[in-house]
A and B are shown apart, each in its own frame.
Chain A
């Protein structure tokens, strides 16, 4: 009995520690963003300012940040649609057919996963190739990059999901006269909806959070994604942490909403490959 109580106390302390370490940066950012301008850098710091004001949010959204926010939404949606479409097609081929070069294709995809994660090594190569092809600073530059970076992982997740769909369902559909097109574009997506959500979520997080490549690939206010726009606040505002924390809060909110809502899918997406099944 005594042991149980100590265990409970310990787990409570552990919980509080984790909550503090992991959430304080966000909470402090939120609190800062709600303070009036002259109190932002007040010392000693207080939890709340003399009043709670949305002035920083208003000034941030009036500026180029709102364009960047819309850009990021569009880029992410584009990357999700293109990525999922490609991933479904190739995953279907890899799980339902035997063909020459299949192993090679699969290996290339596996190689692509860590390759696209090590994006600092890819910044210079990607930039050079895109500028050689005169493809930098276009409206399609970033969506294509985001798709490419997240596609290998999405395929890997889709392959895992499709392997668990029994082939007999397709056979039954085919006997009923379903066409190949119906099976690939209707039946399979319908059956693998959880897997698709998981892959889509991974693409979304990857696209929404990308900074390194985005920062060099586009160079105009109308094309910047949200992360670059936040980074640029250091330059524009210098020490003005009010607008900066407002911008970071706005950038984090969509991720947190999606994440708490679809956390389960994210966990299964992240662990694809390390555990079977």
Chain B
């Protein structure tokens, strides 16, 4: 009898035991840091020394500075432009791959995905080498075509464009993969029914396929927006925030505030602001994702 009771008890707590290790890791390394960061953002915390409770002063200080607002706008601009381009090109590529067949489609898919799987440091570094002003390969080609060399990384306006290009280059593959999977999941009957109704290619895409692609499109848009908004590595490596402050995105500002000036209170305030944006995107992600549990 006791044996049976013990077994029943074990059966009851087993799922909690099995979940425990993962939950410890997630709570300890993802949830608690955020809470701690929120706490720090209310303190003056230079060099990790909690000297004074200052309430909302860090937030007011940070967001009354022009530099913060500018960098926030730069971040948003870069993320949104990159997102739009990535979604458009990604969709076109996905439609193409979906209509191609077999080996060719697979090779294409792998090739388009390569930028997403390579590290951002490596990618940004290699692009920097291509885009260099004096000795870069691209400027050599530009000159061969009879044009003045372009200051890809040294001109204020063009540097932003270069950054957008590199960031977009990285994420297109991700969008493409999501949409190819989405297209593959559309039942064949839909296409056939539409064909019998005599729709043209455009109608086929707009009325038959696009509505079915809502979920993959939403998910890829959310992930790409998040990934771009939080991208610290590529701007840091490619332009270092320059020239001037042209490409100083909010993540670079927070990074500098903490690891160059050691103002952890202000940096926390900035991180929390970034986290709020992330949180909104995260809620959207949880709503969009399909799951059964």
With contacts A18-B108, A94-B293, A121-B230 known, is A132 near B36, CB below 8 A? yes
- Name which residue of chain A comes closest to B134, CB basis: A43
Task: State the Cβ distance, A13 to closest chain B Cβ, in Å.
Answer: 12
B293 and A103 contacting across the interface, CB-CB below 8 Å: yes
Residues of B within 8 A of A120 (CB): 229-232, 251, 254-255, 274
The yes or no answer to B26 lying at the interface (CB within 8 A) is yes
A108 and B23 contacting across the interface, CB-CB below 8 Å: yes
Q: Which of B112, B113, B135, B219 is within 8 Å of A45, CB to CB? A: B135
Residues of B within 8 A of A126 (CB): 29, 33
1/0 per residue, CB under 8 A from A, across B90-122: the answer is: 000100100010000010111111110111111
Residues of A within 8 A of B122 (CB): 227, 230, 248, 251-252
Residues of B within 8 A of A259 (CB): 110, 113-114, 117
The yes or no answer to A266 lying at the interface (CB within 8 A) is yes
The yes or no answer to B22 lying at the interface (CB within 8 A) is yes
- Name which residue of chain A comes closest to B269, CB basis: A124
* Chain B interface main SS type: helix
The yes or no answer to B68 lying at the interface (CB within 8 A) is no
With contacts A28-B129, A114-B282, A275-B290 known, is A151 near B271, CB below 8 A? no
Task: State the Cβ distance, A163 to closest chain B Cβ, in Å.
Answer: 8
Residues of A within 8 A of B259 (CB): 127, 216
- Complex alpha-carbon distance, A112 and B114, angstroms: 25
1/0 per residue, CB under 8 A from B, across A35-62: the answer is: 0000001111100000000000000000
Residues of B within 8 A of A241 (CB): 129
The yes or no answer to A260 lying at the interface (CB within 8 A) is yes
With contacts A99-B15, A274-B290 known, is A211 near B36, CB below 8 A? no
1/0 per residue, CB under 8 A from B, across A110-131: the answer is: 1111111111111111111101
The yes or no answer to B80 lying at the interface (CB within 8 A) is no
- Complex alpha-carbon distance, A216 and B9, angstroms: 45
The yes or no answer to B169 lying at the interface (CB within 8 A) is yes
B291 and A212 contacting across the interface, CB-CB below 8 Å: no
Q: Which of B126, B174, B223, B290 is within 8 Å of A29, CB to CB? A: B126
The yes or no answer to A74 lying at the interface (CB within 8 A) is no
The yes or no answer to A161 lying at the interface (CB within 8 A) is no
Q: Which of A25, A114, A155, A251 is within 8 Å of B285, CB to CB? A: A114
- Complex alpha-carbon distance, A94 and B19, angstroms: 8
Residues of B within 8 A of A77 (CB): none
- Complex alpha-carbon distance, A267 and B181, angstroms: 9
Q: Which of B36, B112, B270, B274 is within 8 Å of A22, CB to CB? A: B112
Task: State the Cβ distance, A158 to closest chain B Cβ, in Å.
Answer: 10
Q: Which of B140, B268, B290 is within 8 Å of A124, CB to CB? A: B268
Q: Which of B40, B109, B112, B216 is within 8 Å of A275, CB to CB? A: B216
**Which positions 13-72 of chain B face chain A at CB distance < 8 Å?**
14-16, 18-19, 21-23, 25-34, 36-37, 40, 48
Residues of A within 8 A of B233 (CB): 211-212
The yes or no answer to A19 lying at the interface (CB within 8 A) is yes
B216 and A274 contacting across the interface, CB-CB below 8 Å: yes
The yes or no answer to B196 lying at the interface (CB within 8 A) is no
B36 and A128 contacting across the interface, CB-CB below 8 Å: yes
- Complex alpha-carbon distance, A45 and B135, angstroms: 8
The yes or no answer to A87 lying at the interface (CB within 8 A) is yes
The yes or no answer to B154 lying at the interface (CB within 8 A) is no
Residues of A within 8 A of B239 (CB): none
- Complex alpha-carbon distance, A221 and B93, angstroms: 43
The yes or no answer to A222 lying at the interface (CB within 8 A) is no
Residues of B within 8 A of A230 (CB): 121-122, 125
A148 and B30 contacting across the interface, CB-CB below 8 Å: yes
With contacts A113-B285, A118-B230, A121-B275 known, is A263 near B110, CB below 8 A? yes
- Complex alpha-carbon distance, A197 and B214, angstroms: 28
A125 and B290 contacting across the interface, CB-CB below 8 Å: no
- Complex alpha-carbon distance, A215 and B157, angstroms: 29
B119 and A209 contacting across the interface, CB-CB below 8 Å: yes
Can you name 20 A-B pairs with beta carbons within 8 Å? A23-B111, A25-B123, A41-B135, A93-B16, A97-B14, A105-B19, A118-B275, A121-B230, A122-B34, A123-B254, A124-B271, A125-B271, A127-B258, A129-B37, A148-B25, A234-B237, A259-B117, A263-B113, A267-B109, A274-B219
In addition to A28-B126, A111-B286, A273-B289, 6 A-B residue pairs with Cβ atoms within 8 Å of each other are A25-B130, A92-B18, A128-B36, A128-B264, A209-B118, A259-B110
Chain A interface (Cβ within 8 Å of chain B)?
11, 14-15, 18-19, 21-26, 28-29, 32, 41-45, 85-87, 89-90, 92-94, 97, 99, 101-103, 105-129, 131-132, 144-145, 147-149, 151-152, 155, 159, 163, 180, 184, 205, 208-209, 211-212, 216, 227, 230-231, 234, 241, 244-245, 248, 251-252, 255-256, 259-260, 263, 266-267, 270-271, 273-277
Sorted from nearest, which 8 A-B pairs have the closest CB atoms? A148-B29, A125-B37, A209-B119, A120-B251, A125-B33, A120-B230, A93-B18, A25-B126
